[in-house]
Amino acid sequence: MTGRHISCDYAGHLAEVGDEATGLQKEKNMRLRFWFALLCSTLAFAKGPQRPSNLPVTTAFANTDASDTIADIQSDALGSYFDGVDAVTSFLTTNGYNGIVWGDWQFGTLNSATRKVSLSFANPIQLANGGTAIPNPPFTTKNVTAHIEVKCTMFGLSMLTMSANQTFQCPLIVHFFDTNSYEYRIYMAPNWTQPPTPETSYAQVSCNAVAADNSGCNDWYIDPIPGYDTAGNRIPGAATGRLVFFGCSACRGNTKVTGDANEGDYSFRFHFHVTRP
């Protein structure tokens, strides 16, 4: 035999390339075909469909909104956040609702020893003004480890496929841990959470520019839904978010909360800038 080699073709069965076989060789080759077909099929099944990777983005939190009002969600004053740097996560996720890939922004410092996010509860909404519980924040302003994400894909929307100057209104969730390991979430999602948080408001996602290679939007702002002054001019708004206490899984006795641990509603100003890469 000369120049003979064996390989799997795209259908997962054996393809023989080289000299023709005769006699006993044919029987041996038939056995080889069977075992190689089984091997190739097993490998193809084990490998399965290849899922795309998360799409890295750069995240920046401004200290003020467009009206120069102090933001309630800011950076830790150490600059922009980059995916994979200092254990930060910052990407468009493959794990969206409705099977949508790269439709939602997710950001986190939960595993970072150096990067945090500044949160402020300086603007509580009292019961007399529409709050749903007496405000009981864990602090006024503090740098904490946090995870923040929008959920545009819940409505069948995708940040990546936005056109320039297009805007979406999407749920926004802030998940954070206080320094005592107490766990909280801030919901800005009027009709999504359980228990419901109907008094809260969505965030607005705006596409500023589309990539020159037509790969989709590559520059976004995430802000509260804007308001309007008496002359009808658009002005930066403030989002309403409900603070929910989730207990302390790391504490002795595991003080996990069951039920609606409503710690009050608050007004939040913020201005996030997300870019690819």
Encode pLDDT of 72-102 as tens digits: 999 999 999 999 999 999 999 999 999 999 9
91 plus 40 within the same structural domain: no
Domain count, the chain: 2
Mean pLDDT of 221-225: 98
104 plus 236 within the same structural domain: yes
Q: Which of 117, 159, 115 is nearest to 141 (CA)?
A: 117
Cα gap 38→26, rounded to integer Å: 18
Which whole-number Å values give the CA distances from 110 to 28, 99, 176, 180, 209, in the listed order?
Answer: 58, 26, 8, 14, 30
Cα gap 2→89, rounded to integer Å: 54
Query: What residue numbers bound the domain in which 232 lies?
Result: 55-275
Question: What is the average pLDDT value for the chain, to the nearest integer?
Answer: 85
Task: Find the DSSP H helices in 55-190.
Answer: none
pTM of the model: 0.81
22 plus 123 within the same structural domain: no
126 plus 209 within the same structural domain: yes
222 plus 250 within the same structural domain: yes
- The pLDDT of residue 18 is 41
Mean pLDDT of 7-27: 42
